[in-house]
Chains A and B, each alone.
With several copies, the nearest count.
Chain A
Amino acid sequence: MDWHRIRSDFPVLDQQVHGHPLVYLDSAASSQKPRAVINTLSHYYERDNANVHRALHELSNRATEAFEAARKKVARFVGAASEDEIIFTRGTTEGINLVANTWGAQNLKAGDVILYTGMEHHSNLVPWQLLAQRTGATLKHIPVLDDGTLDPASIDTLLNEQVKLFAFVHISNSLGTINPAKELCARAKAVGAVTLLDGAQSVGHLPIDVQDLGCDFLVFSGHKMCAPTGIGGLYGRMELLERMLPWHGGGEMIAEVRLDGSTYKQPPHRFEAGTPDIAGVIGLGAAIDYLEAVGMENIHRHDANLSHYAVQQMREVPDIRILGPQSGPRGSLVAFHFDWAHPHDLVEFANSHGIAMRGGHHCTMPLMKRFKVPGTTRASFYFYNTIDEINRLVEVLHAARKFFT
């Protein structure tokens, strides 16, 4: 693979920040976009822009065709059995809220257990907390071990017949831990629990096949996988989707509306009320085309190399505490802590050297408490990053240590 050529597909990377070449190590928060995706948006707005569905004029036909073609691409990309199992959302957060407010509100009652883990993003905690308040369901969580993995003994005891829903993150955005999704889904299925997989950090980083993984729901964000902001996807198994009542009411999701009541369309349209983010959806399709052209296996391998190298090199910085798995596979990110500098000071220091990282709780406050840190600094990678950039990061960490101590 010519990774340098691929890097040049990303115009944003070609700039200086504070007199240094930009080193963008914040892709876990949001990825950059290749020119192909940016151009798809411009092209859509310059040639084809119109509202989709229910129109017969040329622009609307073109927009509708591109829109529904993107749904097929997403279905194929995540291995869904049918494109009707793909619902477009604003992102991971909206997808989880949709499931909580439809499937969850319909199926959970007092005493049922919602199981999650101690490493969930707020997006995979708060919606279930709100749902538990509403239904009387009980919240339980699988604790995280010191090495950043889930406690197997707790899985044995907690993942039992009381559990109606098991929601867990595929790749932790704060630890880099890759959870054994296939095994966990199988075990959940064995006790009759429905599974929701938070794929925010895995979709676009690993090849994904929902049928092989065996999850019932998968949620992800386009903006973290080269697509525009504001678009994402929810995969749901049709058997579940077709029994779910609508969430948002409005245009496009109805079969018939009377002044006193209405009937609803089949999935996925039942769950897509109102004018969708048409350009965003088409841009997501273009991002998938782009990722597939690079190759998901290639991307995964490159990601893994970067994070492996980063962990190795960063371990040499004195006093550093790297969270998450210390060896073996990890997602393409490394979060770490120093006693001598607060994450925000470190991020500020790095920024003045052109390096973009994120410091703080990364929307995983309970995990920060678990590891007794006020927050961490996180360097996260994607296939457009290079070994050189990691070297540069390590250099800057050394300099920061000298400066702050």
Chain B
Amino acid sequence: MPLSDELRDLYQQVILDHSRNPRNHGELPPPCLHAHGDNPSCGDEIDVWLRLGDNGVIEDLKFKGQGCAISQASASMMTQKIKGKSKDQAASMREDFRRIVMGDGAPQDEDALGELVLLEGVQKFPQRVKCAMLAWRAVEQALEGK
């Protein structure tokens, strides 16, 4: 059965692999920052735990969640990329990532996103943007209390 290009782009092997075998899966022991995120409209849920160093650097983070391949893969890939980054760096990566999945302008530093860029297939599926952003919003909430 022929598959559309859009679908292949959305579910690339790397993405499916992350969703099947999520990295940094689990909880951090307290004390740490924690936030819960959900998309009530589709039922995706995520919890992130996050330890911040004195220097404002994300020393460690883990997540647990349930939801579609996009939300879980995005979470897994994100944890790999923002570990070791500062709060500010994480914020600008979030903005760059948002631009990529929404097709809303060029990212400032595409390289920093690494394989997260593969999620740009989401552009063609506007209903899935909130899946891709779920983990990112939870991290923002944990860091900024938003």
Contacts and interface: CB of A to CB of B under 8 A. Distances in A.
State if A and B touch, Cβ cutoff 8 Å: yes
Interface of A: 18-19, 53-54, 56, 61, 64, 254-256, 265, 341-345, 348-349, 352-353, 360-361, 374-375, 395-396, 399, 403-404
Contact of A342 (B4, B69, B127): B69
B42 A360 contact: yes
B106 interface: no
Contact of A344 (B16, B40, B131): B131
A202 to B, nearest CB: 26
Interface string B1-18: 101101100110000100
B16 A404 contact: yes
A352 B67 contact: no
Contacts of B42: 54, 344, 360
A345 B69 contact: yes
Using C-beta atoms within 8 Å of the partner chain, give the interface range for chain B. 20 to 34
Interface string B90-102: 0000000000000
Contacts of A265: 40
A101 to B, nearest CB: 23
B108 interface: no
Given A54-B41, A344-B42, A360-B42, A349 B1 contact: no
B41 A342 contact: no
Contact of A396 (B1, B10, B131): B1
A352 B7 CA distance: 7
Given A341-B69, A343-B68, 9 more contacts: A64-B127, A255-B40, A344-B42, A349-B11, A352-B3, A360-B42, A395-B1, A399-B3, A403-B11
Contacts of B10: 348
Main secondary structure of the interface of B (DSSP, over half): mixed
Main secondary structure of the interface of A (DSSP, over half): mixed
Interface of B: 1, 3-4, 6-7, 10-11, 16, 38, 40-44, 66-70, 125-128, 131
B1 A399 contact: yes
A57 to B, nearest CB: 10
A381 to B, nearest CB: 22
A349 B7 contact: yes
A288 to B, nearest CB: 23
Contacts of B69: 341-342, 345, 404
B89 to A, nearest CB: 30
Contacts of A61: 126-127
Nearest to A341: B69
B41 A53 contact: yes
Nearest to B40: A255
Contact of A360 (B3, B43, B125, B128): B43
A19 B4 contact: yes
CB-based closest 10 A-B pairs: A344-B68, A399-B1, A342-B68, A352-B7, A255-B40, A345-B69, A352-B4, A374-B66, A345-B68, A54-B41
A130 to B, nearest CB: 18
16 contacts: A61-B126, A61-B127, A254-B40, A265-B40, A341-B69, A343-B68, A344-B44, A344-B67, A348-B125, A348-B128, A352-B3, A352-B6, A352-B7, A361-B43, A374-B67, A403-B11
Nearest to A342: B68
A56 B40 contact: no
